[in-house]
Amino acid sequence: MPAERGATVEFRDVTKRYVDQIAVDGLSLTVPAGKICILVGPSGSGKTTSLKMVNRLIEPTSGAILIDGHDVLKEEPTQLRRRIGYVIQQVGLFPHQTIDENVATVPRLLGWTKQRIDARVTELFSLVGLDPGRYARRYPAQLSGGERQRAGVARALAAEPPVMLMDEPFGAVDPIVRERLQSELLRIQRDQGTTVLFVTHDIDEAIRLGDRVAVMRGGKLVQYAPPGELLAHPADDFVAQFVGSDRGLKRLGLLTVGGADLDATVDRASVDRNAPVLAPSTTLRDALVRLLASESQIGVVVGGDRYLGVLTLATIGKMIRSDS
């Protein structure tokens, strides 16, 4: 499916004030259609509040939120919510309904025919990697945490919403399952072209999933940039600290050997026979580890059968310092 199904989400100077504090302070940002925007920031920085203002679980004190140019405050809340997928950390599956009933929630609210619902539910089960034969008729209490999160994602995707809001959806699972769920989310998101707003505490998750990352602090947007730029140019000390002192290393995880400035003038025959052979798709982070582990500290880059040049520690260092 083409990526044109997603909708643009725009925050225009959005503020949410409570009696004793400001939860979100003058937030302005635009998430382009079909992209993933990750909201990160310390506890209490206003991430959840920002998310919930999109589907009007919280009403902003001032400012506007537009989906494809339409002000959400001008829409009927229940109608609006049926067009926005919503996943929360605790998942919130309905304990009294079986998994297939849970997944069918929004299509049922929208009055789809039974055949259409059944077909879509089956499709969703395979989309999130759950075997319908095994899980469809179970109750949520009979699933593991990871399976429940998958079911929650399936439920949110059911009516093919142009926008998905996900509040720490993979918080409660172990790192291995989380990584798998992340890959699945990326695949589904690219497949369906959904625009995703995703809250996490985990900076690695943000870098892995985000087309853009919004760093929040005390209700304010501190920086809004693609992950690479965030790591290369943190806007201030706070962001630098937040992304971690190993941000140089993290950034290497986003760059590939193929994108580095390889030295092709070196004759392959002159290079140590034990030097590691690297593919262009290898991340510079992995390449660095292999270079350091080898005695020659030089890598031979081979794409397909073709020799592309050598990668040296100096080249990697240059990539860390470089701008883009």
Q: Can you give the binding site for ligand ATP, defined by CB under 6 A?
A: 18, 21, 23, 41, 43-49, 201
User: Does position 48 bind Mg ion by CB under 5 A?
Assistant: yes
User: Does position 95 bind another protein by CB under 8 A?
Assistant: yes
Nearer to ligand ATP, 42 or 317 (CB): 42
Query: How many residues are recorded in the chain?
Result: 324
- Phi, then psi, of 61 in degrees rounded to 5: -75, -40
Token digits of residue 78: 């229940």
Kindly state the smallest distance separating residue 115's Cβ from ligand ATP, in Å: 40
Nearer to another protein, 81 or 208 (CB): 81
Kindly state the smallest distance separating residue 79's Cβ from another protein, in Å: 7
Task: Residue 217: name the closest of 4, 87, 24 by CA.
Answer: 24
Kindly state the smallest distance separating residue 168's Cβ from another protein, in Å: 12
User: Does position 92 bind another protein by CB under 8 A?
Assistant: yes
Nearer to Mg ion, 47 or 120 (CB): 47
Token digits of residue 91: 């998942």
Kindly state the smallest distance separating residue 204's Cβ from ligand ATP, in Å: 16
Amino acid (one-letter) located at 202: D
In the chain, how long is the greatest CA-to-CA distance?
72
Q: Find the binding residues for another protein in span 57-76 (CB under 8 A).
A: 57
User: Does position 88 bind another protein by CB under 8 A?
Assistant: yes
Nearer to ligand ATP, 46 or 60 (CB): 46
User: Does position 131 bind another protein by CB under 8 A?
Assistant: no
Q: Tokens 């390449």 map to which residue?
A: 287
Report the residue from 11, 86, 170, 242 that binds another protein according to the rule CB under 8 A. Answer: 86
The DSSP line for 222-238 is EEEE-HHHHHHS-SSHH
Report the residue from 62, 142, 183, 281 that binds another protein according to the rule CB under 8 A. Answer: 142
Residue 119 CB contacts under 8 Å (≥ 6 apart), including other chains: none
User: Does position 94 bind another protein by CB under 8 A?
Assistant: yes
Buried b or exposed e, range 287-311, using 16+ CB within 10 angstroms? bbebbeeeeebbbbbeeeeebbbbb
User: Does position 141 bind another protein by CB under 8 A?
Assistant: yes
- Phi, then psi, of 106 in degrees rounded to 5: -70, -45
